[in-house]
Structure 1
């Protein structure tokens, strides 16, 4: 079993990756697979503690990405790699497909262009369909539906197990993970010396995947930032699992220039997700939820799918997306300083993460080389947390059911606590097990969880609901 390295930083690494979100974890995996000695630096107490902990969990095809864009290329590459590795790593894929729904004649007039862009983007499995055909696929859709574009390849996944699998595989290949390790400054003297809250880290190259602090980290490394992060808040509601029978497809709006809009979609965990909003703010760390906005999301879902109008809300949460002043990804390479920045990765980051890792390695190879890649890389499997496969509670000798809402067993919690990368806080435990994420939001199981984790976490229990699906 690989252990998390102690603080110190005297050891030399080929590559230091700054940021433990989904992009950082995927990039660490890609470099480790290529033979690099990798260190991942995360300032939070656990991976996915920033933007990556709150998203819509959709594996996009890229049908609506800007034609010819790097984003399209990387979304498609990331999706293709995910589909090729998910079986070996025990990762979920829920084959829902999606409907881009037009609710007004004006929106209906835009569908042909959306479908044409999808075809131009290389997505063959889509078509414009009538309202009647769309309701045949999703019978609960409102009678006000005008028409839709069916996109067969849009699916949903477990958004937390995937990056955990990426970094776990990297660790099995020798990567080091340092949490509570914020990069304060850096200087390049033929190699990088990164001053962090855990001492000096030495590396031959750096990859900035710091998400909401991407521009700040560039500045701390001594670069003139080429972009400005403008945090964009998205609020969500999670409807009870009884809602899932009414939402067999991802229901997408006709997008605007600003946002993909509010989505109604099933989750891999059996719930229905409604959101996100798109709200600009200055605060990079705090994403609040507002009652009026949450009520708007509930009303919106009820208008489009009337059966959802009276459906109970299981959880609410808000997340921040690292948007910038431009819609495009903000990727930079500085060969003379052996530095790469992966910035401005907004709503498609989950889908593009593996593609971004590939791209970062390609940029690295323009100024440096790595030793030979391992012949037979390990493929650590993730425990299934979704409704798509049998769960641990269905197997014998699981010990006890600790979380009855999500049917999380004692054995699952103990496995997470003793895994190669155990949770660094209570939110990390929930993302690894789903304990406390159900209807009661931890009301009944938090005391037992606190008992099982006594002495492990410095922080108090997270506020339930803030990053839940």
Structure 2
């Protein structure tokens, strides 16, 4: 990757961390007219917690009543529904069943239904096990009862935040990757020491996810919370499984976790997970055979037809949980700083709401900006199976990844986009190349050829003689 040019300008707002929340905040402030800088220590956006999630657009039906999380999940969901068409973002309207597999769990469903209604989610209906199986025959006949939540849906978890950042960049925001915050000092304005040089900004917003508490400390604040990484392991089943899982299947939640979910994906697979395992390591999220086998066994208990279904991929991610269940949002008006921390499993749904909230908090200590006269149109390429894909259009050049039907035109276009991929993970998330049944076995050589000199780490290493 090329070195960053000197940063001589002063920004209205510097945002630290380019996960889904950071990208949403960058967009919201750019729409308000702020001069925005978003920095990310990784090689690409979504390089931390945001790259691994279940991709559910939540209603907030089971969020803590009266909580900030509930307010922001609902606001974020509503904004996503309002902007998805203009940004060409998919919505797979699956609905969900909260499934009770024994009498004790069934007794809890009425309370969950009432909580959902209290939280403003009115499209909920209690179903008997037989009623639920009538609309989803593959469910195990062990099912006792289910709460139908019609508004729970599936989205593309990677294209959405990329769209937010693309719109921010189109409005003049600047994005620096490979840029780690080392120290920040405030003397009426912020001076941020980073690996890309000094950055000057009037205000700072911490959206650093798994490093949120560390970033607060580097900014000179006494950490008001501590991140306790929570690992979630996932199994991705072959596309043949999708016919058996048309809805999101949720467990009756516990005090600790929402539990293991079996759900379709926007890409035509079925996802099983996540686990909830606390650990100290903020970087490595390993997968363990025994745990993954347990996930597969649980999926087969819920939907017997999934027994023996081929596995397409295994992965694990880390959620930025903290010592408290709620979001850890702090505003320091005298230092012109905002922290959006402890955003756990609902971050994809609440990101746009968190961005709205951050702008309101910022208005409490800084004057308003002048919104741009025009907002450029941003139309993202579609990766979802529920809509037309690029391979179905003429002139795509060639099919590079046959498992996921990724075209040469799609790969070339992403490198010409306002925010091109910085590493192979970023390329995969933008195109799905290498994410299918063979996990890149057949297409990686072609991808290495096409991406030569374009990624932080090459896919192939040339040896003597060029071989």
TM-score class, shorter: over 0.9
Q: Quote the residue 2:72 is aligned against.
A: 74
**Do residues 351 (structure 1) and 383 (structure 2) align?**
no
SS, match of residue 82 in structure 2: helix
| 2:371 pairs with one of 361, 370, 373 | 373
Conserved 8 A contact 1:5-1:178? no
Q: Quote the residue 1:9 is aligned against.
A: 7
Q: Quote the residue 1:105 is aligned against.
A: 103
In 2, Cα distance between the equivalents of 1:123 and 1:76? 9
In 2, Cα distance between the equivalents of 1:289 and 1:67? 34
Q: Quote the residue 1:250 is aligned against.
A: 248
SS, match of residue 79 in structure 1: helix
SS, match of residue 109 in structure 1: helix
| Deviations 1:256-310 (CA, angstroms, capped at 9, x unpaired) | 0000000000000000000000000000011000000000000000011000011
Conserved 8 A contact 1:234-1:279? yes
> Displacement, 1:374?
1.5
Equivalent residues in 2 for 1:255-404, closer than 5 Å: 255-404=253-402
| 1:207 pairs with one of 180, 205, 211 | 205
Equivalent residues in 2 for 1:130-149, closer than 5 Å: 130-149=128-147
Give ranges in structure 2 of 5+ residues lacking alignment.
461-467
| 2:179 pairs with one of 178, 181, 194 | 181
| 1:57 pairs with one of 49, 55, 58 | 55
TM-score with structure 2 setting the length: 0.97
In 1, Cα distance between the equivalents of 2:55 and 2:459? 24
Q: Quote the residue 2:165 is aligned against.
A: 167
Give ranges in structure 1 of 5+ residues lacking alignment.
463-469
In 2, Cα distance between the equivalents of 1:222 and 1:7? 27
| 2:122 pairs with one of 117, 121, 124 | 124
SS, match of residue 207 in structure 1: strand
| 1:152 pairs with one of 147, 150, 153 | 150
Matched residue count: 459
In 2, Cα distance between the equivalents of 1:291 and 1:143? 28
In 1, Cα distance between the equivalents of 2:374 and 2:131? 47
Conserved 8 A contact 2:87-2:379? yes
| 1:454 pairs with one of 415, 435, 452 | 452
> Displacement, 1:461?
4.3
* Cα RMSD after superposing both structures: 1.1
Q: Which moved more, 1:132-141 or 1:245-254?
A: 132-141
Conserved 8 A contact 1:7-1:178? no
Divergent runs of 4+, >3 A: 4-7
Q: Are the structure 2 counterparts of residues 423 and 285 from structure 1 closer, same or farther at C-alpha, using a change threshold of 3 Å?
A: same
In 2, Cα distance between the equivalents of 1:109 and 1:191? 55
| Deviations 1:43-101 (CA, angstroms, capped at 9, x unpaired) | 00000000000000000000000000000000000000000000000001000000000
In 2, Cα distance between the equivalents of 1:294 and 1:312? 13
SS, match of residue 317 in structure 1: strand
In 1, Cα distance between the equivalents of 2:459 and 2:263? 28
SS, match of residue 114 in structure 2: helix
In 2, Cα distance between the equivalents of 1:304 and 1:395? 38
In 1, Cα distance between the equivalents of 2:411 and 2:106? 48
SS, match of residue 222 in structure 2: coil
In 2, Cα distance between the equivalents of 1:408 and 1:163? 20
| 2:428 pairs with one of 417, 427, 430 | 430
> Displacement, 1:231?
0.0
> Displacement, 1:8?
2.2
In 2, Cα distance between the equivalents of 1:157 and 1:18? 25
| Deviations 1:209-259 (CA, angstroms, capped at 9, x unpaired) | 000000000000000011000000000000000000000100000000000
| 1:218 pairs with one of 187, 207, 216 | 216
Conserved 8 A contact 1:97-1:151? yes
In 1, Cα distance between the equivalents of 2:334 and 2:198? 21
In 1, Cα distance between the equivalents of 2:316 and 2:369? 42
TM-score with structure 1 setting the length: 0.97
> Displacement, 1:456?
1.3
In 1, Cα distance between the equivalents of 2:374 and 2:437? 43
In 2, Cα distance between the equivalents of 1:371 and 1:151? 40
